[in-house]
Amino acid sequence: MMLKPEQLKAFDEQGYLFFPDCFSEDEVAVMRAEAEGIYKTDRQEVWREKTGAPRTAFAVHTYNEVFRLLSRHPRLVEPLRQLFGEDVYVHQFKINAKAAFEGDVWQWHQDYGTWARDDGMPEPRAMNIAVFLDAVLPINGPLMIIPKSHKHGTLAAGHDNSTTSYPLWTLDKETVTRLTAEAAGLDGIGIVAPTGKPGAVLMFHGNLVHASPPNITPYPRKIVYLTLCAVSNHITKFTRPEWIAHRDFNPIVPVADDALLDYARAHRVAAE
């Protein structure tokens, strides 16, 4: 999947691209089932909310075949190779649960703020690709983004290690208010929350400001976040565990486009 000139322009201007139909229902079904199994396991890589509900499962691509295939999927890897003009490696991989009734807030932040401060990543030449495993609705804690905020570089942030179970470099209310006022459209609103069905994909710049509210509905909102980084921009500081900020800087070799369906077929055959 190569990006068209108008998509490259939109990404440069807005800081994100949304693909409502990137993966089919069959492809997502196999990923969703694996994710639900992983949340039940007792591993150090599975972080929980303060209530005990799953929050995020890190490094799943290192021990689960379906997510290994996703982390090398050409529909995700090729656009980033195109954007960065070079090979990419996996900096981070996580499946965020935003569990029904218990999924907690993610405060306003820029991803690159953490990668720069904690991991010594030289430039914002890395970004998150969100793959929806459930329907993301206006009501179940969607990701909220501030368009154009990636144009502001890396903003001042404070280290929040008390609000949720996961430490994060977060932005203050004044900064968020200023950025949303700048991004406001004709309706006066400067925040968008891309919603869509399972299989939709959102790619966003490492400096794009984003957050998500708690999920108080009965509808879970699982999203995979694959962070790909240009190989020449690999991290230089190793303050976080290897399974949060990876140290294998080898270029990704993409799998075949139908790799997930192939796995699903083989798996079903094996189960019969």
Give, in order, the Cα–Cα distances in Å from 181 to each of 43, 158, 187: 42, 22, 11
Does 104 interact with Mn ion (rule: CB under 5 A)?
no
Structure tokens at 216: 């108080």
Does 118 interact with Mn ion (rule: CB under 5 A)?
no
255: partner contacted, choices Mn ion, ligand SIN, none (Cβ within 5-8 A by kind): none
The CB-of-7 to Mn ion minimum distance in angstroms stands at 22
CA–CA separation, 183 vs 146, rounded Å? 7
212: partner contacted, choices Mn ion, ligand SIN, none (Cβ within 5-8 A by kind): ligand SIN
The CB-of-17 to ligand SIN minimum distance in angstroms stands at 17
Nearest 5°: phi and psi at 145? -125, 155
Nearer to ligand SIN, 96 or 149 (CB): 96
225: partner contacted, choices Mn ion, ligand SIN, none (Cβ within 5-8 A by kind): ligand SIN
Nearest 5°: phi and psi at 214? -60, 160
Residue that has been written with the tokens 């490492």 in this structure:
206
Does 102 interact with Mn ion (rule: CB under 5 A)?
no
Nearer to ligand SIN, 61 or 98 (CB): 98
Pick the binder of Mn ion from 34, 111, 119, 134 (CB under 5 A): 111
The CB-of-115 to ligand SIN minimum distance in angstroms stands at 11
CA–CA separation, 105 vs 87, rounded Å? 33
Count residues contacting Mn ion (CB under 5 A)? 1
Nearer to ligand SIN, 208 or 230 (CB): 208
Interface residues with ligand SIN (CB under 6 A) are 96, 98, 106, 143, 210, 212, 223, 225
96: partner contacted, choices ligand SIN, Mn ion, none (Cβ within 5-8 A by kind): ligand SIN
The CB-of-234 to Mn ion minimum distance in angstroms stands at 19
Nearer to ligand SIN, 128 or 259 (CB): 128
Does 34 interact with Mn ion (rule: CB under 5 A)?
no
- Beta bridge partners, 202, equal 18, 130
